[in-house]
Amino acid sequence: MPESAHPQAVTVESADGRIVVMDSMTYVDGRNGPGDVLIAASYFGSMPVCHWVLPVRPKGVIAQEAGGGKNMAGVSGLWALDGHGIPGAATTTASCRISDGADMYVNGIIAQVNASAERLNIKPGMGAGAAAELMLHAARLEAEPGGSYDVVYEGAHGRIMALGSTSFISNAYAGDVICAGSAFSEPSAAYAAPYAIRGLICNDAGRCKDDSGIAGLAVMEAKSIPAAAVSATSAEIGDGLSTYRDGAISALNASARALGVTEGMAAKQASLLMLSAG
């Protein structure tokens, strides 16, 4: 398709880069690059983000939450961006028209943000134009591939962290409770066991043959670290945010049970029990 069929409007241009407004993520192309903040009035799904947006490595992206949808599919692209340290913010469904970048830029109100945007002080309730300015003028800090994380809770007792994999755990997470997207197999637990974390919640992967999907619970018990698995039907495997946000406990070790964690409990509640007991 010719570029004229995919119009883009540069609304701000400075030494820090550009704010570029368009009606769809499908309009992202060779005109765009790492200096651009994209206001692209598509739904904020992982498919358009991965197919069109990530290849140009923009400084930030604003798109539509599009009703959120089943399993929050309308904003799943926020987390895809976060894995690369790229700020993302989704506008409220009612504040601006979908497929109308100009309306989103002027009238869009932020509904949800990823951790990379949150670190720039972009918050729900902010105007899309103001959020784009913060993205534009911020220094670019890209995450290491695959090493994305989110602070999903922080209080007097410490933090609850969402990680894509237990292999990302390091001394930086000492004292934290980790909700990871990994299967709770023995190798997954082996990544976590050497560190002084307060608790670990992973996915049971459907438990698998010989309960190998939850074999890591015993590994953590040997270290006296509370641990639990969420059912594969309750949370998306590979997604630590889903473990925390959606997960229902299906199996646990004795250390977790001693804290009051039970089968069927929400992972959010279980992780708080682990944190407060530390």
What pLDDT is attached to residue 82? 83
What pLDDT is attached to residue 278? 65
Across the range 78-86, mean pLDDT stands at 86
Using CA atoms in the order 183, 184, 186, 188, what is the torsion angle rounded to 10 degrees?
Answer: 60
What pLDDT is attached to residue 147? 47
Residue 73 or residue 258, greater confidence: 258
In this prediction, residue 237 has a pLDDT band, given cuts at 50, 70 and 90, of: confident
Across the range 95-107, mean pLDDT stands at 94
DSSP secondary structure string, 53-121? IGGG--SEEEEE-TT--GGGGGGTHHHHHHTTT--EEEE-TTTS-TT-HHHHHHH-BEEEE-HHHHTTT
* pLDDT single digits (tens) 18-58: 999 999 999 999 999 999 999 999 999 888 998 999 999 99
In this prediction, residue 251 has a pLDDT band, given cuts at 50, 70 and 90, of: very high
In this prediction, residue 96 has a pLDDT band, given cuts at 50, 70 and 90, of: very high
What pLDDT is attached to residue 142? 52
What pLDDT is attached to residue 148? 56
What pLDDT is attached to residue 141? 60
Across the range 180-193, mean pLDDT stands at 91
Contact predicate 251/214, CB 8 Å = yes
Average pLDDT, the chain: 91
144 has pLDDT over 50 = no
Q: How many helices (H) and strands (E) does the chain have?
A: 10, 12
Contact predicate 41/98, CB 8 Å = yes
Closest residue by Cα to residue 135 from 40, 69, 68: 40
Percentages of the chain per state (helix, strand, coil), in multiples of 5: 35, 25, 40
Q: What is the identity of the amino acid at 176?
A: D
Closest residue by Cα to residue 125 from 172, 151, 100, 90: 90
Q: Is the pTM of this model over 0.95?
A: no
In this prediction, residue 146 has a pLDDT band, given cuts at 50, 70 and 90, of: very low
Tokens of 179: 């909700």
1 has pLDDT over 70 = no
Q: Find the angle CA(260)-CA(266)-CA(268) to the nearest 5 degrees.
A: 90
